């Protein structure tokens, strides 16, 4: 009897707790789309005077760029239960202050899609933005929805009103009241939406439901064909991670004119790619992108620091462990294909060479931890996290395999970390490096000091020798081909110089922005055409550039040097027994 009373009391307490939980209800109307505006209505719940700021995202996890979504808001109005307007004020780029939040019954606002809305700087990456067209809508929720200060953890109910002939793809689940439910603002932002004239397909990967939704501008690409093309990646990932750590995963593909890239989420990923024939080359490219994004079910979903756990959408407070979230993920995307037989050894070494060549064009004085913390401030350098970060992952894997005598590598370390932490438990931002060394070997601590926190030259030759592969960094010059003595990137909508090689003696500097190549004014839209002129040149020939250097024009007749022959890998045909043993371990899931 005593036990039953306690159970009843516990049930009553839980029920009361549920009643007091706030549920912020949002409705996104997709019917009136001619003006490229999302019409959003909020029915707030249980607001107090402490919730007087409605916040739009300045930045979002996984983007590492300043977005300032408040720039896209066209109007913002609040009303009481009688329909009388309550005063609001736009107090900063991303914040609206509400004069009397306790009496707000409804808020209406309109927000422009990011794809077709020009901005002067900090253009939102297409895969991280929004699009609204007659036959579809592409929605990343951080670019449409906001939250009340103090209520970031409130449950969010999201209703999407769409045309009758549209279907919707999202990792969010519907409740009985026809709302998609997110446990918090963070979860809503982690759950994109694709709606419209979509095809869909589904499969089961060893107990995990995988759904594919696809928008294809001319219906050239179907979800069923995509699923067939990427299914081997899903099985490779499952084997690599010892079973997928999610019950359901959703792929959202958008194929139109823009080849922008992809964006990872915990239970989904979305892709903005150019629509073209789904031939062998195209599906191979999509496979590699999918392999990267899919591995994010390990990191940051199951392995992340407290900075990711409760993300600061107002100010960019980024993690020093971007090398882990993106660099190791890129390593895993190649390694899982290598060990599953999708990549040959030659394929894997070729991919590693590409990353080394690309890394050469970035500033080598920036450490991976510095690049993580300052990713939003270093947009022209940021992409190297996928290159140098992946190479560091490869080398760390080789080091672990060597120190364990072939018993375990980086895959095993990552799987152990995922089991130790999981989605609900973050690691310490400051103590994680010490933890890695304690879990492994003292040499791993030295590796971190030198190559992740430090900027010492990477020990590629030494570590590949463990597995009987000879590496040569520089072999000479090929005068039949040209190379650039500098690297190129994008910053504030301009093509800029990211790095200048040590042996480059011409007047070109880091930060120079290209204004003109011969007679073509350089923009992001025509950069590919402008720089195509480079490929017509031979070593020793010149090309006229006009550069913007801190507001001043600099004219330069650039002389093309011969191409360096770099980063050669050669598999030793007669390795030692120890090298052969470690090579077999390195090529396997241990």
What pairing do the DSSP bridges indicate for beta strands 486-491 and 494-500? antiparallel
Give the E-state strand segments of 206-267 in sequence order: 208-216, 248-256, 261-264
- Write the burial class of residue 62 (CB in 10 Å: 0-12 exposed, 13-18 middle, 19+ buried): buried
Does residue 78 sit in helix, strand or coil?
strand
pLDDT in tens, 539-590: 888 889 899 998 899 999 999 888 889 999 999 999 999 999 999 999 999 9
Q: Looking at residue 21, what is its pLDDT?
A: 63
Q: Is the pLDDT of residue 12 over 60?
A: no
- Write the burial class of residue 31 (CB in 10 Å: 0-12 exposed, 13-18 middle, 19+ buried): exposed
Mean pLDDT of the chain: 92
Q: Looking at residue 492, what is its pLDDT?
A: 74
CATH of span 484-560: 2.30.42.10
Contact 161, 31 (CB under 8 A): yes
The answer to whether the bond into 300 is cis (omega within 30° of 0) is yes
Q: Looking at residue 117, what is its pLDDT?
A: 94
Q: What share of the chain is helix, strand, coil (3-state, %, to 5)?
A: 35, 30, 35
pLDDT in tens, 321-370: 999 999 999 999 999 999 999 999 999 999 999 999 999 989 999 999 99
What pairing do the DSSP bridges indicate for beta strands 106-112 and 85-86? unpaired
**Nearest alpha carbon to residue 192 among 123, 270, 134, 136:** 270
Whose tokens are 């590919």? That residue is: 528
Q: Is the pLDDT of residue 410 over 90?
A: yes
Contact 172, 158 (CB under 8 A): yes
Query: Where do the H-state alpha helices sit in 110-209?
Result: 185-189
pLDDT in tens, 18-27: 334 679 999 9
CA count, 13 A, side-chain hemisphere, 535:
5
CATH of span 205-297: 1.10.390.10
Q: Looking at residue 331, what is its pLDDT?
A: 98
pLDDT in tens, 253-297: 999 987 889 999 999 999 999 999 999 999 999 999 999 999 999
Phi-psi sector, 13: left (phi>0), alpha (psi -120 to 50), beta:
alpha
20-197: which CATH number, 2.60.40.10, 2.60.40.3650, 3.30.450.20, 3.40.50.880?
A: 2.60.40.3650
Q: Is the pLDDT of residue 139 over 90?
A: yes
306-474: which CATH number, 3.40.50.300, 3.40.50.450, 3.30.70.20, 1.10.390.10?
A: 1.10.390.10
Q: Is the pLDDT of residue 6 over 50?
A: no
CB atoms within 10 A of CB 352: 22
Does residue 17 sit in helix, strand or coil?
helix
The reply to whether 306-474 shares the fold of 205-297 is: yes
**Nearest alpha carbon to residue 113 among 132, 140, 126:** 132
**Can you tell me the mean pLDDT for 466-487?**
91
Backbone angles phi, psi at 588, to 5 degrees: -125, 160
Backbone angles phi, psi at 113, to 5 degrees: -65, 150
Q: How far is CA 353 from the centre of its chain?
A: 23
**How much of the chain, in percent, has pLDDT values that exceed 70?**
96
**pTM of structure:** 0.87
Give the residue extent of every domain in the chain: 20-197, 205-297, 306-474, 484-560
């Amino acid at each position: 009897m005593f036990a039953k009373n306690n159970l009843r009391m516990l049930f009553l307490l839980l029920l009361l707790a549920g009643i007091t939980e706030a549920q912020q209800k949002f409705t996104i109307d997709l019917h009136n789309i001619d003006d490229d505006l999302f019409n959003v209505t909020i029915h707030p719940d249980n607001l107090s005077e402490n919730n007087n700021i409605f916040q739009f995202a300045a930045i979002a996890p996984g983007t590492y760029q300043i977005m300032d979504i408040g720039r896209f808001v066209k109007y913002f109005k609040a009303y009481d239960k009688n329909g009388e307007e309550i005063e609001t004020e736009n107090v900063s780029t991303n914040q609206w202050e509400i004069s009397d939040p306790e009496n707000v019954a409804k808020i209406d606002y309109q927000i422009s899609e990011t794809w077709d809305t020009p901005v002067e700087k900090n253009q939102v990456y297409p895969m991280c933005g929004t699009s609204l067209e007659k036959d579809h809508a592409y929605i990343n929720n951080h670019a449409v929805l906001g939250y009340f200060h103090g209520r970031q953890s409130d449950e969010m109910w999201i209703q999407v009103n769409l045309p009758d002939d549209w279907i919707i793809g999202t990792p969010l689940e519907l409740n009985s009241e026809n709302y998609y439910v997110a446990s918090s603002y963070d979860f809503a932002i982690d759950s994109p939406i694709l709606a419209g004239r979509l095809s869909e397909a589904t499969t089961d990967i060893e107990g995990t439901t995988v759904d594919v939704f696809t928008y294809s501008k001319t219906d050239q690409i179907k979800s069923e064909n995509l699923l067939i093309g990427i299914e081997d990646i899903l099985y490779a990932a499952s084997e690599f991670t010892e079973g997928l750590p999610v019950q359901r995963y959703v792929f959202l593909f958008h194929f139109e004119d823009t080849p922008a890239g992809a964006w990872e989420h915990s239970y989904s990923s979305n892709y903005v790619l150019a629509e073209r024939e789904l031939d062998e080359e195209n599906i191979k490219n999509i496979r590699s992108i999918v392999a990267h994004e899919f591995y994010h079910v390990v990191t940051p979903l199951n392995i992340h620091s407290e900075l990711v756990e409760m993300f600061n959408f107002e100010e960019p407070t980024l993690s020093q462990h971007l090398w882990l979230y993106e660099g190791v993920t890129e390593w895993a995307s190649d390694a899982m294909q290598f060990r599953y037989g999708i990549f040959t050894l030659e394929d894997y070494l070729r991919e590693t060479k590409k990353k080394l060549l690309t890394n050469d064009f970035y500033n080598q004085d920036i450490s991976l931890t510095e690049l993580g913390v300052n990713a939003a401030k270093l947009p022209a350098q940021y992409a190297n996290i996928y290159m140098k970060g992946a190479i560091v992952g490869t080398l760390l894997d080789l080091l672990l395999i060597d120190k364990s005598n072939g018993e375990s590598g980086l895959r095993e370390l990552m799987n152990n970390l995922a089991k130790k932490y999981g989605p609900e438990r973050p690691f310490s931002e400051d103590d994680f490096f010490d933890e890695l060394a304690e879990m492994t070997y003292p040499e791993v601590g030295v590796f971190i000091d030198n190559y992740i926190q430090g900027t010492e030259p990477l020990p590629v030759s030494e570590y590949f020798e463990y597995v009987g592969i000879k590496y040569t960094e520089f072999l000479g010059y090929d005068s039949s081909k040209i190379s650039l003595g500098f690297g190129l990137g994008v910053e504030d909508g301009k093509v800029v110089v990211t790095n200048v090689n040590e042996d480059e003696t011409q007047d070109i500097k880091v930060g120079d922005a290209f204004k003109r190549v011969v007679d073509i004014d350089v923009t992001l839209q025509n950069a590919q055409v402008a720089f195509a002129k480079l490929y017509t040149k031979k070593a020793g020939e010149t090309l006229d550039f006009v550069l913007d250097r801190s507001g001043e024009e600099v004219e330069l007749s650039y002389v093309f040097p011969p191409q360096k022959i770099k980063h050669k890998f050669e598999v030793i045909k007669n390795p030692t027994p120890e090298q052969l043993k470690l090579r077999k371990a390195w090529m396997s899931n241990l």
